[in-house]
Structure formats: structure tokens, C-alpha cells
Amino acid sequence: MRQFDENVDGYYDVENQLPRYLRRLAEPQFERGDERREAIDSVAAAEEHRERVRKDFLEAIGGLPEERTDLNATRTGRLEYDGYAVETVIFESLPGFHVTTNVYVPESASADDPRPAVLFVCGHAATAKTADGYQQGCIDLARNGFVVLAMDPIGQGERHQFYDPEAEAIPISDDSRDYPRVNTLEHTYLARQCMFAGANVARYFVWDGIRALDYLESRPEVDADRLGVTGNSGGGMQTSYLMLADDRIAAAAPCCFITSKEAYMRTGQGQDGEQIIHRAIDRGPRYDDFLLAFAPKPALIGASQSDFLCIEGTHQSYERASSLYNLYEAGDALELTVADSTHGFGPELREATVNWFRRHLAGEPPTFETDDPSTEDRERLRCTEAGEVRDAYPDGRTVVDLNREFLAETAPEAATAPTVDDTDNYTCQLRERLVDRFDLERDRPDLYPRTIETERNGDVTWEKVFFPSEREVIVTAIVATVDDGGTEEPLVLLLEEGTDEIEERREEVAALARKHGTVVVTDPRGVGGVCARDVNTRLQNGGDYYDYHGTVYKLASDALMLGTSLLALQTFDILRTIEYLRSRLDEGNTELAIEGRGPWGIQALLTAVIEPSIRTVSAVEPFPSFHEQATTAEIPVDHRLNVHGIVGEFDIPQLLPALEDRDIDWDGDLSRYRRPSADETV
């Protein structure tokens, strides 16, 4: 029997079902968000909204470090130009966590005549602070009298967290494809680790920005009451985050970032992990929330007419924010400038940004016109000799180290199984929490299973089957049975790519059928016979179906912003498959088995905790625990496992005590998750 052809062999159109399902979940959330905004009818209501959004944002990213430690700022060089100088400065936003910057200092700035300052946060250009367009933006600002600090983001410029001078690619994937060091793959890898811990790598982006403002405040030639922030693309994102997180900012200009969540979902585009904030669609912050929370302070939205961040969403967020600025009688403090260009910090946006800060930080007329200044050789602007902090500070800390420390503080017991006195009570409570967290008691339509093809081969009968898991969601399966039945429980088999593997594993599945009598190879939504259509491409930051920024990643990201996960949705489908399998069996045959391959090993444990009839759990080449994935520098990645805050809650160590009465065949050492007894040496 062959794998399913497109659209369940032509029986059912499924290629849009998962994107459509997620959009259907989003619609009431968008409506609730609109209702919340429409209810803001006073300054007091606006202040309340700001505090709620800020609280939710900080909670979603894991909060911020509590202590402002010594910056240990070091100037490693200084270059003189006509009217300004550039200093290469390194500071530590956290002890041992180094931030590389270029500080542009106008000749006019001094302790006797302190100048307004602008933090320039960089987008996803590989060279970050030294990219030509960003250099030009900083030069234009410096020539207009602003002290400017341009900062490399995590994973870019001189701050590659996985830097290896001998490597041609970032060493964080088992994938055979080479991912060059110039892209922002690190962002998504690190965001995934932080996500498991209940945080987001944006926590460190924001903290770097806050400490950069601290450094600017400390400079004698800077007027600490006149601080601005700007950036383009990913820098527009960082600007927006800081507008929400730091009250010291007096004026801001986020460029090529502000659109709307509704528009974002329609485009099908993926975004790097620091932009995927847990429950951002469900409760915010949405794009307009950053503007709403900044009111009534001056904010310029810079946009490009033909940006991949669609302009209609930009206008939508601008209009929403304008009504709130009007409550403050500060309508002229919010402006939208649209450049006739594609994505990028071109001359029109640079001019608009400089003039915005001239008006609102320097009290000068907005008359500046850029002359496209010449840029410096990038190597001369390096803060470190080799252009990498990991080379200059081999003992410095990385985000992986920070996330490990974060978990040590927030979930110190998460890596080992808890001591359980009453197993039945523990299992019951864990199951209830899991059912609630994954929303597993929602409506289940009748299965109405369809068998669309049957094939007999020796003693094994093969069937192609599909049935509805829930409204508008179809699940496919290939069932293998033997006449006399097996000696072991009927089996639900979770292959890494579902029934797409059936042809290469035909003999293996047949052998399992002879042991178990019945084997159901199932395709939860988004897998095998019910794969989604490609919703992302390589034209921007996309990839193949399972790639870092491919279809699965995009859909998993949408699910996270909706407050759920593919893991939760696929768990529901596996439980429905168990219902289907049970419907085929005699009433007395109630005990079942489940086997997960690769990432599905953890899924098999989760399903067994929820479903007591599963008596045998097997895992072949399973992924390590979520805790290990959150704290290890090099791990396999499968975005179907992306779920916020699972470490210490529903991880392997927490699941095992609930399965003490089951047979577990784990391909690997489960003892590392067991808590040593008092008389054992740790």
C-alpha cells in the first residue's frame, strides 16, 4: 500500500485545513482585542490598558533580570571623522554577557553642552551595526548633533552565540543542509530554548536595550532627559519592545515593523523567534499596543509602501493608536511616514527619522535632507579583533548559559522526577492539568470513519482510512491487521513523517502487526496524508516543510501566539485515533500500546498519561527532555514540539511518575530523569 496522494487520494481537501483552523481560532481573539480597544474611552482607561499590556508582555518573555549589574564598559578604539567621532565600545548587559556597539559622538557634544541621544537598534542585517544603511542612519543623526549608540543584536554582527572559527555553518542542527553564519537562525534556535522555559529570547534583546540606555545616560555629553530609540525591521521590533518596557524613552521611531496581527496571519510569512510572543494574538501585545502604551509621547511609524510587512496593517494600527493619542489631545505626537520603496531603511525613512528627533528631542525644525553619506569599512568598526565576542571572551556567557541559569532559578527541580507519595492522586492531578492546558475536552464530532482502499498482502490486510478529528480537521491513517491477531496490545504507531513513511517501512509495520494484531499508523494534523500546503517560501526567511522557518514553524508560531501549540492540537488528534482504534476492537479488548519515533516519543508519554488504556509505551530514537533541549547548545529541532513553559510541567521527568504502572520501552537511558535516593551519591 502506498502513502496517501494529495488531498487524501482526492477524497478530501485537506491542504488548507490547519492554516484555516488557526485563523478560525484567531477570529474571536481579534474581535475581543478590538472590543478592549474600543472600551478605552478615557486617559484612565488608557493607563490601565498600558499596565495590562506591559504586564502580559513581560510575563510572556519571562520577566526581566532584577539587578542592573556593573556595565564594565570598555572603549576599544576611536575613529575621527568630519564633525563626529565613532567609538567602539563593549559593555556587559549581564555579567559576562558582552554587547558590541559603535558610539557616534558629535563634535558639539560635551559635558558643558550635553546633547540628546538616540539608541539605534539594528535589524536582521548580518553585519548589524556596520551595515551600510545603518551606518548612514547613525551618521545622519550624529551630524545633526545626536549622540548615537548602534548596538549589535544577539546572533548578529560580532555577537554570534555559536561562533566557531573553524565552522562553515552554525553547529546547532543535525540537518544535512548548511546554514551559513550570516543569517539569523540563532534567533529562532535560542527563542525555542527560552520558550520551553516559559520565556522568550526577546527577554535578552530588551535587557540589552535597557542597559544600552543606561550606558548612554552615564556619558557626560548625553542629556539623560532626551533619549530616543529607533531601528528598522528587527530594529523596529526592538524599538517597539523598548517603548513598552522603558519609560525613559522620550521619543521613538520604529521603522518597517508596525503592521497588524490580522495582516500578518494572512501573508503566511514566518518571523524569527524573538517576534513570536506567547499569546500575542490572544491577549497582546499586538503591533498597535506598542503605540498605545507609548502615548502621549512622540512616536513616528516609518513604513515602506511595498514592504512584505503589509502596509494595510500599518495603516490599521496607526488608525487604532491615533484615537487613543487623541484622548490625550496629542494627535500630532503620532505620525506615519510611508516611503515609496520596499523593505529597508532608505533615504526617505532616514530623513523622516532624523527630522522626528530634531523636532521632539532637539527642538529644531524638521528641515534635514540626507546626502547619502559614505560609510566606513566594516572591519574598522569592529569592537573585537576577530569580529566575534566569543573569540575575544571565550569564557563569556551565551544565551544558552543564561537560559540554563533562568531555569535553575525558576524551576530548580525540573530536570528530575518529583518524589511522589500518592501515585494515583499525582497521576489524576497531572492528567487534569494536562487536559486543561491542551484543551482536550472540546467538542468531538462523530468519527464516521471512511475506508477508501483495502489491500491484502500475505497474512496482512492494509487499509487507508480517514475520519474527522474535530470540525474542519481530518485525520488520516493506514491500518495493518493480521487474521489471527497478535499476542500484544493493538498499537498506535507515530512515525516521524506519518504515513509518508509507509512504503519504506512496510515490512517493519507488517512485523509489528503480527505482534500486535492491529497497527494504526496515524497522521495528526499537519503530518503525512494531512500535511498543510506550503505557507512559507525561501523568498524571505522561509524554508522547506520542516525547516527552521518552513511551514511547520510558521504554523507552530501562529499556534503559540493564539495560546495553544501544535503539540496540543496533535495530541487531540492522537486521542481521536485511539477512539477510532477502540471502535474496531472487541469490547473486551481495552488495553492498547503506543509507539513514538523521534520527536513523537515525548508525545507517546503525554498521550499515555491522558489515556489510561495505554498500557505499553515505546520510543525509538526519542528526543531528549524539554529541559535538556532548553539548556543544551546542540540539539535536534522539530517545531512540532514547540510549546511555551513546558519545562517542569509536562516534561519527561514529570510524566514518568504517572506511568509507573505501565510498561515503558525507551530507546535510551530514562534513569537520568530519576531522582537519586537519599543513600545514593549524586
Per-residue pLDDT tens over the stretch 359-388: 999 999 999 999 999 999 999 999 999 999
Q: What is the structure's pLDDT at 669?
A: 87
Q: What is the structure's pLDDT at 178?
A: 40
Per-residue pLDDT tens over the stretch 633-647: 888 899 999 999 999
Neighbours of 436 (CB within 10 A): 10
User: Is residue 343 pLDDT above 90, yes or no?
Assistant: yes
One-character DSSP codes across 154-169: TTSTT--TT--TT-SB
Quick one: average pLDDT of 413-422? 94
Cβ atoms of 528 and 4 within 8 Å: the answer is: yes
Quick one: average pLDDT of 256-281? 92
Burial class (CB in 10 A: 0-12, 13-18, 19+), 225: exposed
Q: What is the structure's pLDDT at 590?
A: 82
Q: Which of 474, 479, 436, 494 is nearest to 638 (CA)?
A: 494
How many Å apart are CA 96 and CA 389, to the nearest integer?
Answer: 10
Cβ atoms of 200 and 277 within 8 Å: the answer is: yes
pLDDT: is 548 or 531 the higher one? Answer: 531
User: Is residue 681 pLDDT above 60, yes or no?
Assistant: no
Per-residue pLDDT tens over the stretch 466-506: 999 999 999 999 999 998 878 899 999 999 999 999 999 99
Q: What is the structure's pLDDT at 678?
A: 46
Report phi then psi at 254, rounded to 5: -75, 125
Per-residue pLDDT tens over the stretch 1-35: 899 999 999 999 999 999 999 999 999 999 999 99
Per-residue pLDDT tens over the stretch 270-305: 888 999 999 999 999 999 999 999 999 999 999 999
- Residue 284 has what DSSP assignment? -
- Residue 329 has what DSSP assignment? T
Q: In which band, very low, low, confident or very high, does the pLDDT at 399 lie, cut at 50, 70 and 90?
A: very high
The percent of residues in the chain predicted with pLDDT above 90, rounded, is 87
Quick one: average pLDDT of 110-122? 97
Per-residue pLDDT tens over the stretch 139-152: 999 999 999 999 99
User: Is residue 513 pLDDT above 90, yes or no?
Assistant: yes
Cβ atoms of 186 and 396 within 8 Å: the answer is: no
User: Is residue 548 pLDDT above 90, yes or no?
Assistant: no
Quick one: average pLDDT of 343-360? 97
How many Å apart are CA 458 and CA 401, to the nearest integer?
Answer: 56
One-character DSSP codes across 498-559: GGGGTTTTHHHHHHHHHHHSEEEEEE-TTSGGGPPPP---TTTT--STTSTTSHHHHHHHHH
Neighbours of 69 (CB within 10 A): 13
User: Is residue 680 pLDDT above 80, yes or no?
Assistant: no
- Torsion angle of alpha carbons 487, 491, 496, 502, nearest 10°? 70
- Residue 511 has what DSSP assignment? H
Q: Across the chain, how many H-helices and E-strands are there?
A: 20, 17
Per-residue pLDDT tens over the stretch 435-446: 999 999 999 999
Burial class (CB in 10 A: 0-12, 13-18, 19+), 85: middle
Q: In which band, very low, low, confident or very high, does the pLDDT at 168 lie, cut at 50, 70 and 90?
A: low
Helix axes 132-143, 347-357, angle to 10 degrees: 30
User: Is residue 537 pLDDT above 80, yes or no?
Assistant: no
User: Is residue 423 pLDDT above 60, yes or no?
Assistant: yes
pTM exceeding the 0.75 threshold for the entire prediction:
yes
Q: What is the structure's pLDDT at 181?
A: 40
User: Is residue 256 pLDDT above 50, yes or no?
Assistant: yes
How many Å apart are CA 150 and CA 658, to the nearest integer?
Answer: 51
Q: In which band, very low, low, confident or very high, does the pLDDT at 535 lie, cut at 50, 70 and 90?
A: confident
Q: What is the structure's pLDDT at 87?
A: 98
Q: What is the structure's pLDDT at 682?
A: 35
Quick one: average pLDDT of 41-55? 96
Cβ atoms of 99 and 242 within 8 Å: the answer is: no
User: Is residue 177 pLDDT above 50, yes or no?
Assistant: no
Go through the domains of the chain in sequence order and give each one's CATH number: 40-408 (3.40.50.1820), 413-673 (3.40.50.1820)
Backbone CA torsion sign across 611, 561, 50, 223: positive
User: Is residue 615 pLDDT above 80, yes or no?
Assistant: yes
CA–centroid distance for 603 within its chain: 20
How many Å apart are CA 312 and CA 308, to the nearest integer?
Answer: 11
Mean pLDDT taken over the chain: 93
